[in-house]
Chains A and B, each alone.
Chain A
Amino acid sequence: MSAIVEARGLTVQRGAREVLHGIDLDVAAGEALALVGPNAAGKSTLLRALTGLLRTSGGTVAVGGRPLRSWSRDGLARKLALVTSEDEAVSPLTVRERVAIGRYPYTGPFLPLRPADHAAIAHALAMTGIAALAERRVGTLSAGERQLAAVARGLAQEPQVLLLDEPAAHLDIGHQLALFRVLDEIRATGVAILAVVHDLQRASDWADRLVLVAEGRIAASGPPREVLASPAAAAIFAVRIEEHAVPGRTAPLYSFREGS
């Protein structure tokens, strides 16, 4: 499987301070990748550097085999879609209008929406299960529905990689499960997903691969069980991680205790 996104030795500076130090990361087609790590480890910064929103100070990022900087802005937005958890309560747009914004990389400033655009919007609404809410105003939705609308906007970009920054933040358990089910369905269509996830149990259940980020470096990367069993994970979170096999459940359950 060839990688869609390849980062090699990626460094990012904020002011005089280097916040990412030499990150190597590959994202393959259809892969589910969870970025985990303590607060301020550099996970969100990494997402923004990979999508070209932040200037990198060293290393390379290739998208589809081409250097990030050789992509046009809209060309890149057709490959990578970033969905952040910015509060969207203020948006007065309807869900359909909000999702239609995701077609901007295709229409540009002046072109009207064409049949292909309407099809992509309808597909995004259907995949996220919010077609029935299409004419509602985003500001009147629940937090979970708003997050699904934001994901639908990303899908409308028809990207090869969907990058999500804490998509489950502020969601109750029902909405979390619905969101990750939708993400699985999206992945089944061949779209890779790279998500910052705080809940380690959720990350291990959902992802093919965990990438543990700490202090601007990748401390461990691999199948969830290996990463969570590594000494690095326990040391970085300063907790004891215990794995419990549950009959009838393929993935283990985890418990966490303070101290290492």
Chain B
Amino acid sequence: MSLSARRRAVFAVLILALTAALAVALTLGSVRLPVAGVVHSLLTAAGIPSSAPALTPAGEIILWTIRFPRVLLAAVLGGGLAVVGAVLQTVFRNPIADAGLLGVSTGAALGAVVAVHLGLTATTFLALPAAAFTGSVLAIAAVYVLAHLARRASLEGLLLTGVAVSALTSAATSTVLVATEEYRVKAILFWLAGGLDGRSWTHLALAAAVILPAALLLTLLARPLDVLSLGDEEAASLGLHVNGARLLLLGLTAAIVGAGTAVAGSVPFVGLVAPHALRPLVGPLSRHLLPAAFLGGALLVVMADLAARTVNPAFDLPLGSLTALVGAPYFLVALRGIEDRG
């Protein structure tokens, strides 16, 4: 099979699998909704008359106020995080680059912890996502400004500065955590573990308003991204404004991670696993890899969230721990592959 035929097949499978996963995720949960009822409710909402049996009023409420925003948020979040992983791996020419690298995730965590510590979350709706988003944007801005001040806007300079800023924000997070009253720590822990429990249409709107346009823009910037992957010197000699392009690409990834972390906490490994699994199937060119990664990441997190809320009947498992449970072993196996080839 030629590469382009295989690519089309992979996209078809991803779209079908994601559609099926979304459908299953809408019906399963602590309350199982009949498939026919869900179909009826969806058709009716779309203005299409349906003869299928309707859901109970309680079922309608579960479907529309609880399950729908949660499932869609899982898809948007997973897609966004996978695109970020694919972009960072290309920019840094490193198959294990991810959002933790530039201090974006740790910055978001610090913002959230500070908001909880100050008690803002109890008084102001959406204070936590706003603070997390602010934290991630400040962190990446700090990385960029510090790297420039030290005249290290190069790849290595950004990476090293990112590691330093990450360590700094993590230390600050621990310090604030220790100083926080005990009854608030639980809220922080819940958020740090990552999860989509109780997320509303408002959360979805907030995340989607940032993640979808940013992911689309990154896909449109696929060619400069590929040029950048060949090294700064070659990119510059081909007429690319290297520092400007990198700033734009990193800024967009920071916006996605910031928005995602703001509404769902930390959901690790999605950005590593999805691009890594799909790169051999669709090829490394960003205009193929980024859309494939979006679909793959969405599929991964929708499934992970479904598992998080159905595996254990007593309480939801943390989503972030689940993606790590699946992602870390996958990654260890994949690492061996990378070393064998290298």
Contact = CB atoms under 8 A, between A and B. Distances in A.
Interface of A: 48, 51, 53, 72-77, 80-82, 84, 86, 88, 90-94, 97-98, 101-102, 104-105, 107, 109-110, 135, 157
A101 B220 contact: no
16 contacts: A48-B233, A73-B239, A77-B237, A81-B237, A84-B233, A84-B234, A86-B231, A86-B233, A88-B230, A91-B230, A93-B285, A101-B238, A104-B238, A104-B239, A110-B220, A135-B3
A93 B240 contact: no
Contact of B284 (A77, A86, A92, A109): A92
B152 interface: no
Contact of A82 (B224, B237, B240, B285): B237
Interface string B233-245: 1101111110000
A102 B285 contact: no
Name, among A74, A93, A98, the residue most crowded by chain B CB atoms within 10 Å (CB to CB).
Answer: A93
B237 A107 contact: no
B279 interface: yes
Of B226, B236, B237, B283, chain A has the most CB atoms within 10 Å of the CB of B237
Contacts of B234: 82, 84, 86
B229 interface: yes
A92 B93 CA distance: 10
B227 interface: yes
B221 interface: yes
Contacts of A88: 230
Between B221, B234, B279, the greatest number of chain A beta carbons within 10 A of the residue's beta carbon is seen for: B234
A170 B93 CA distance: 23
A73 B284 contact: no
B6 interface: no
B239 A91 contact: no
A76 B93 CA distance: 26
Rank and list the top 6 A-B pairs by shortest CB-CB distance, nearest first: A74-B239, A73-B239, A77-B239, A92-B284, A82-B237, A104-B238
Contacts of A72: 239
A35 to B, nearest CB: 17
Contacts of A51: 237
Contacts of A94: 283
B279 A92 contact: yes
B148 interface: no
A82 B234 CA distance: 8
Given A86-B231, A90-B93, A105 B238 contact: yes
A223 B240 CA distance: 37
Contacts of B226: 93, 97, 101
Contacts of A82: 233-234, 237
B8 interface: no
Given A84-B233, A86-B233, A92-B284, A73 B240 contact: yes
B285 A157 contact: no
Contacts of B237: 51, 53, 77, 80-82
